[in-house]
Amino acid sequence: MPLFAQTNWRKFEDQLFTIFPMNLKDTFLRLRKVRALPCLTIVLPTHTTSPENQQDKVVLKNLAHQARERLLARYHERDLKGLFEQLDAVQAEIDHHHNTGCLALFLTNDTCEYLSLDIAVEPQVVIEDNFATRVLVQAMSGANSYYVLTLSQKSTHLWQVYRDQAHASHLGGFPVLDKIVQAIADEHDHWSKDEAVMRAYFETVALHLDAALAEATLPLVVAGSDRALEMFHQVSRHGKPILTKINGNFDNSTAADIGKIAWPKVQAAELHKQEESLQKLSVALSSSKVVVGAAQVYAMAKEGRGEILFVEEGYFEPGSMHGDHVAVGVHVGHAITDIVDEIMETVLEMKGQVIFVAPGMLADYGDKIALIERY
């Protein structure tokens, strides 16, 4: 799904910018650098269909009211004039018909940016001297959104899918239809026996796919008959790994069909990827290159020693920061709403990798967060 964003509302009040997944890293790096008192982050789950998405407007209004009360309890109202103007303006600006899995707002007195992201979240209001960017990290690493390429004798479609909700994508000129192949298919009602014709068709499909996904970061699922999948594999130059393949006939499949078929396969494939990634953690543990626990992990990450960070989905940890050290659940120094958010940002800044795993998958390591050290 595209991510809808508005930046510096008062400067660009008549423009709506669309940020695609390929821009998430840049967005994260930009927001990570913002330091101001206060920085307000509001996160809420949203709906993709009507009339449910109209509830999102009410939820946002309630969270905005909560944010106002908390801000006024900590700052003078005169120092919040710009931020409150931004908060009012952004609520009026957001079109909830474009909602996906969650809405994230990032506001200061001078700027306002909001993103619709394809992830599952809990409602949250964070007021600190920087933004809570965990949602961006989760969106960059998750597979709630993905593409499905359906290879068919009638036409080959590209679908953009959020969980089990698909819609046709026209990126790269999809759907792709070869008139010669279509004529043969209409006559014989099966894939052509002419190898050269079919190869040429799939080469065309591969070119369209490369154009469509040249900069995309979302996973790709390919679906079709055994023969179609094999031939596409032979001719495709798609440089990124395919998350999973689905065997079947999708000539008459609707968007609803694609979502229902693909989502369980994607979930299983993603779980398998997580399990494979955990093998790296097991190997590193035998070499004494693993640290667990938020405080210890943060210390290593701050030194630039974090290679791969594993975090269980839904794990948040409040605490405080004193110098270059964090304390879990202890309010000594600067209070932090979520230490895990700070850890993830630090690991990414130091060119490390963040992997989210299902709840309970780190139980054997005695915690919900673990880090493989570079050295």
Determine the length of the chain. Answer: 375
Q: ∠ at Cα 142 (374, 271), nearest 5°?
A: 85
Identify the pLDDT of residue 52. 82
Task: State both tokens at 210.
Answer: 């490369």
Which residues does 297 contact at the CB level (< 8 Å), separation at least 6?
A: 291, 306, 309, 343, 369, 370, 371
Closest CA to 148 of 269, 20, 323, 17: 269
How far is 20 from 140, CA to CA, in rounded Å?
A: 11
Query: Do residues 38 and 127 touch, judged by C-beta distance below 8 A?
Result: yes
- CA dist 118 and 259 (Å) reads 14
Point out which residues pair with 77 in neighbouring strands: none
What gap in Å lies between CA 322 and CA 207, rounded to an integer? 53
The single-letter DSSP state of residue 219 is -
Q: Can you tell me the distance from the alpha carbon of 151 to that of 247, in angstroms, rounded to the nearest whole number?
A: 10
Note down pLDDT in tens along the chain; length 375 residues.
333 343 333 332 322 223 334 467 788 888 988 999 999 999 999 987 778 888 999 999 999 999 999 999 999 999 999 999 999 999 999 988 878 788 999 999 988 999 988 787 889 999 999 999 998 888 877 667 889 999 987 789 999 888 888 888 888 889 998 665 555 555 554 555 567 778 888 888 999 998 888 766 678 999 999 989 998 999 887 766 799 999 999 988 999 999 999 999 999 999 998 999 999 999 999 999 999 999 999 999 999 999 999 999 889 888 887 777 787 876 666 778 888 998 998 998 888 999 999 899 999 999 999 999 998
What distance in Å separates the CA atoms of residue 230 and residue 174, rounded to the nearest whole number?
A: 21
Helix (H/G/I), strand (E/B), else coil: 349: helix
Closest CA to 59 of 40, 44, 42: 44
Predicted pLDDT at 306: 94
Beta-bridge mates of residue 328: 319
What pLDDT, on a 0 to 100 scale, did the predictor assign at position 198?
A: 80
